[in-house]
Structure 1
Amino acid sequence: MLHAITDWDDAYANGPNIPGGERWPSAWVAPAAAFRERLLAEGRARLDLAYGEAPRNRFDLFLPEGTPKGLVVFIHGGFWLRLDKSYWSHLAAGPLAHGHAVAMPSYTLCPEANIAAITLEMAHAIAGAADLVPGPIRLVGHSAGGQLVTRMVSHTSPLPEALWARIALTLSLSGLHDLRPLLNTGMNATIGLDAMAAAESPALLAPLPGTRLICWVGAAERSEFLRQNALLANIWKGLGAATDAVEEPDRHHFNVIDGLSDPDHPLCRALMAQ
């Protein structure tokens, strides 16, 4: 049976379509704050490090015990419209247990910045964190953050060329890889996508040579997120990247990230695999 999407706002609405969805993002606040306080007390947290001049151009850096084996950068979602680095600190626990430092940046939100400008900010944030932590870099982003991390390994990447070879893996969690459908949503009045939708869509760009990409989504997510997840892994595999697409059972858009906090969870193991 043929089917077309007629309600684009509902297609990308997560909270109203998750039982108890109103609990998020508040549910992340307490565990994230407790984690920061504990690592500060242990001398393993460096907060609000500047990577640019704008007020939100800051990142938190969490350090493992001993010398870091490499760097994980986590970029948050929120449709480029909301949230900041403070909600996700506890997700660093998994990579830290694997001996990697974890950087979590904030960025200027729409409409103060457009997505192209946010992409540039994230390149500066990654470069700033990479200056502090040597070794391989693993990028992970959730939702809008999935678009931002995959833009870093597309052929129009704003990252300094010297960093390309350091990127060992990119993991997009419930990522938005083709931005054109968002032109049909009400929130685009604030996001401000136009022709930029194509230029900033990783699915319409080629990957950098040697790209290794995992697209991971909750099996209980909206059908558009399932489609977007499979889309990039499929297209980039055909363009020479090593890719995998995973649908994690019994996970929705908000709890699919939880596995990052557990060093033994399949999500964290996939991110940290050599």
Structure 2
Amino acid sequence: MAAPTRITYGDDPSQYAELTRPVGDSKGVVVVIHGGFWQAQYEASLGQPLAASLAVNGWTAWNLEYRRVGNGGGYPATFDDVAAGIDALADVQGLDLRTVVTLGHSAGGHLAVWAAGRPALTGTSWADPAVRVTAAVSQAGLLDLATADASNLGGGAVRSLLGEPSGPRDDRDALADPTARLPLAVPVRCIHGRGDAIVPLSQSSDYVALATAAGADATLTEVDGDHFVVIDPASEAWALTLELLDALA
């Protein structure tokens, strides 16, 4: 595994990604998107252990940082950065972009699935990606923003992301919410701890039920453990995540 290389995709200090290449041939690119309820105090360092494990297991890892609520993020800047950060892969030499999987935890799971659906966001600046996501893996992701907002998950984190006042303003709620964008044209794999007290398992199970009913390719893998077991590289949950990724290669 090569040492990570930091690559910027904009002028803001949060507009960068860390590229880690495997030794030998790559199975594809995994875009790691960290969680933290889209808040500025949570950083890309959360994704570094996963990026290292991915590279050891034959993947090229792109550990993506982005502007969050509190440092210039929120709607639409956070979404702009995730889109631009993924598109920046097109400018990195020596990458095979036939397989590009977004992998996100918690709020990052939301952004991973959102990014996979960009081609369907017609009429927006996000709708014509330079790099197309071929699948998404959501680790305890916030996939139903309307329900998460109504349940006050993260102490109002959804409304902090989308902006006040409560309730729809323009069409941001529909554009930002993966559940509102079904069916997705690429596979979505959800993995979620049964004992998650931060993001309920229903955020994944309900999404998968609605997605499959709409004709999409979506599955849920339930694991023992809490909200963070899915990002522990030593856990069985992470071993299962690597299996899910290999099946998407």
Same fold by TM (over 0.5)?
yes
Shift in Å, 1:255: 2.0
Q: Hey, what does 2:15 align to over in structure 1?
A: 57
Aligned to 1:150: 113
Displacement after TM superposition at 1:93 (Å): 3.2
Equivalent position of 2:46 in the other structure: 87
Q: 1:60 to 1:156 in 2, by over 3 A?
A: same
Q: 1:223 Cα deviation (Å)?
A: 8.0
1:1-274 alignment, distance < 5 Å: 43-47=2-6, 49-81=7-39, 82-111=41-70, 112-132=72-92, 133-135=95-97, 136-154=99-117, 155-156=120-121, 158=126, 160-164=128-132, 167-184=133-150, 185=152, 186-188=155-157, 190-191=160-161, 192=163, 194-195=167-168, 196-209=172-185, 211-222=186-197, 225-249=200-224, 251-259=225-233, 265-273=239-247, 274=249
Is contact 1:95–1:260 with CA below 8 Å preserved after alignment? no
CA drift of 1:259 comes to 4.2
- Between Structure 1 and Structure 2, the one with more helix by share is 1
SS of residue paired to 2:13: coil
Aligned in 2, Cα 1:160/1:99: closer, same or farther, shift over 3 Å? farther
CA distance in structure 1 between the partners assigned to 2:66 and 2:234 by the alignment: 21
Q: Secondary structure at the match of 1:216?
A: strand
Count of aligned residue pairs for this structure pair: 228
Q: 1:85 to 1:261 in 2, by over 3 A?
A: farther
Instruction: Kindly state the Cα deviation for residue 240 of structure 1 after the two structures are TM-superposed.
Output: 2.4
- State the alpha-carbon separation in 1 of the partners of residues 245 and 54 from structure 2: 8
Give the conservation status (yes or no) of the 8 Å contact 1:91–1:261. no
**Aligned residues of 2:232 and 2:238 also touching (Cα < 8 A):** no
Q: CA deviation at 1:247?
A: 1.1
State the 1:64 CA deviation. Answer: 0.5
Shift of residue 130 of structure 1? Answer: 4.2
- Aligned residues with identical type, % of pairs: 27
Under a length normalisation based on structure 1, what TM-score does the superposition of the two structures give?
0.74
- C-alpha deviation, 1:97, in angstroms: 2.7
Q: Which runs of 4+ in 1 moved over 4 A?
A: 259-264
Q: Deviations along 1:110-169, whole A, 9 cap, x unmatched?
A: 1432233211210111111243222311110000011101111222282634533xx332
What displacement does 1:173 show? 0.6
Give the structure-2-normalised TM-score: 0.81
Q: Say whether the 8 Å CA contact 2:102–2:135 is kept in structure 1.
A: yes
SS of residue in 1 equivalent to 2:200:
helix
- Larger deviation: 189-198 or 76-85? 189-198
Match of 1:11 in 2: none
One-letter identity of the residue aligned with 2:96: P
1:73 touches 1:104 (CA, 8 Å); kept in 2?
Answer: yes
Looking at structure 2, the residues matched to 131 and 67 of structure 1 have their Cα atoms a distance apart, in angstroms, of 19
Unaligned runs of 5+ in 2: none
Partners of 1:260 and 1:159 in 2: how far apart? 37
Measure how far apart 1:179 and its partner are: 1.3
Q: 1:88 to 1:153 in 2, by over 3 A?
A: closer
CA contact (8 A) 2:208 2:218 kept: yes
Structure 1 distance, partners of 2:234, 2:138, is 12
Aligned CA-pair RMSD? 2.6
Q: Distance in 2 between matches of 1:213 and 1:85?
A: 22
Higher radius of gyration, 1 or 2: 1
C-alpha distance in structure 2 between counterparts of 1:124 and 1:159, whole Å: 12
